[in-house]
Structure 1
């Protein structure tokens, strides 16, 4: 009996991993499941233990199949190393947490040695904005999102990504190596059975990117969409994920105490990622995503 259970569960796990994008959205459940897809790999050692208990070679082989599938899908993230080399732009994005009384301290630590920092869940005149205004010469804030820069900012524009109010922005940053068009976004939340608004805001973000003829584009923000969520296919491509390109590990950012997924992203076009990673953000329920880029 145990042998049959191991074989059946192994088959389900392998098919779920390999074919998750073919599974219907099921009212928004599947995209949320995809947000924690790498964690399904923990079922493999459990299945192997069960196979040993069952003393079945067939069950053991069956349990190894989802392990091979997982390794093919995610193994590169564990062995990947940053390309390194010279970089021209150090950037980060962080959801500071709207109820975070220590947001000033959080951004102060993160922003050290950065050229650009994007923040979400800002409060007007709150500690995070005040601290960043002291650290950076240039900034542009729209409602609860903002961009701070060591280089001049121009052509600023508030954006509504389908939420009915501006929770995104577009700006052009003039770096020593040329101009970079920067988007900062905080897309709608996604929960089981409630992904329609998030999906609509993702589609809106894609339309903005498609309509932008800039040679260099940088999209920073809390997209409420994990790297493994099917929704990310709407943005990568045409943009490239800095963590996937130059980060080691999965780069999970949420929840901060024990991150299990990555809704915070640094996406780009017309540049090369040399490094990427994650930094703690004091008091926030998110960690920050950081990256270095070569123009």
Structure 2
């Protein structure tokens, strides 16, 4: 008799799990309206940087809904599931195509890389036509020049960024990306004199058989998650804006941007760049292509963006001793 009473008093499947149903709806609205999240303290950028990982909440809530046998919670999960698929479902497939006129590689070689010789040799082994390196310390610059000289007869270095090329380079200049002094892991390897404002971006022209190609190499400022200051992105955001202005003023129709931008292309801070350039990973990648941190990548902050060129393929290369993974792409005219 008591079991019958308990069964009758138990809420029906539509009344169970109201908290789970509410959480599912909130999760879906957060992903759907992520661009409306205020950026005070960098909150909006933080949400957008790790937006793909919000999808992991769906199976957790699903398990809870099944355990509670809650029909309302299951219905509430439809919104976040559909929103995540609409945002990232296309990333899951392989969009790459064979071929490509140029192979390019971008890598933050890491100021604390214990084996720059090995890193240089690994990168040379890719046989890429263009090889962009950032976070080059003064101590390691000679190493990269020596180890890459045979495979890449042309190279230009400005400050902590450089481009090695199999094709001739000309018109190289520094791009001011509004960095106010050196910060981040690179600073620990520099003297007080070397910590003064240092170039972190360059622009050069690559001479090809199909005409000139404008190439930018950049290393934007680091972001910091501070206990009291929030997610600090001011230096990075100022650099992104300056870089977008430089690209907007570029007269060459064909442009490639390579480097560590310290942010994902979902981040609103890069709207000025993504409105002009295409991400090769989004257009021709296989999966998310996460590049940082090297031991357990959770975000793609190393980018290859193009204008006037056709992305054919995009992939991530094995670790080199840096805390970033190299990223590579095949592009065509």
Matched, 1:135 2:135: no
Matches within 5 A, 1:105-120: 105-111=118-124, 112-120=126-134
Structure 1 residues 76, 68: CA separation in 2 closer, same or farther (over 3 Å shift)? same
Kindly name which structure, 1 or 2, has the bigger radius of gyration based on alpha carbons.
2
Match of 1:79 in 2: 93
Higher mean alpha-carbon deviation, 56-65 vs 263-272, is at 56-65
- Relative to the length of structure 2, the TM-score reads 0.85
Matched, 1:93 2:93: no
Matched, 1:226 2:242: no
Distance in structure 2 (CA, Å) of the matches to 1:281 and 1:136: 21
Structure 1 residues 107, 12: CA separation in 2 closer, same or farther (over 3 Å shift)? farther
Match of 2:12 in 1: none
Higher mean alpha-carbon deviation, 249-258 vs 163-172, is at 163-172
Per the TM alignment, residue 83 of structure 1 is displaced from its structure 2 partner at its CA by 2.9
Matches within 5 A, 1:1-295: 3-84=17-98, 86-111=99-124, 112-126=126-140, 127-164=143-180, 165=197, 166-192=199-225, 193-295=231-333
Per the TM alignment, residue 262 of structure 1 is displaced from its structure 2 partner at its CA by 0.8
Per the TM alignment, residue 125 of structure 1 is displaced from its structure 2 partner at its CA by 4.9
- For structure 1, the residue ranges without an aligned partner over 5 or more in a row are none
Match of 2:194 in 1: none
Distance in structure 2 (CA, Å) of the matches to 1:207 and 1:53: 53
Distance in structure 2 (CA, Å) of the matches to 1:129 and 1:49: 54
Assess if the C-alpha contact under 8 Å between 1:32 and 1:190 holds in 2. Answer: no
Structure 1 residues 17, 273: CA separation in 2 closer, same or farther (over 3 Å shift)? same
Per the TM alignment, residue 10 of structure 1 is displaced from its structure 2 partner at its CA by 0.5
Structure 1 residues 2, 278: CA separation in 2 closer, same or farther (over 3 Å shift)? farther
Assess if the C-alpha contact under 8 Å between 2:49 and 2:264 holds in 1. Answer: yes
- Relative to the length of structure 1, the TM-score reads 0.96
Q: Count the aligned residue pairs.
A: 294
Per the TM alignment, residue 11 of structure 1 is displaced from its structure 2 partner at its CA by 1.1
- For structure 2, the residue ranges without an aligned partner over 5 or more in a row are 1-14, 181-196, 226-230
Assess if the C-alpha contact under 8 Å between 1:163 and 1:188 holds in 2. Answer: yes
Deviations 1:202-234 (A, max 9, x none): 100011001111111111000111122112212
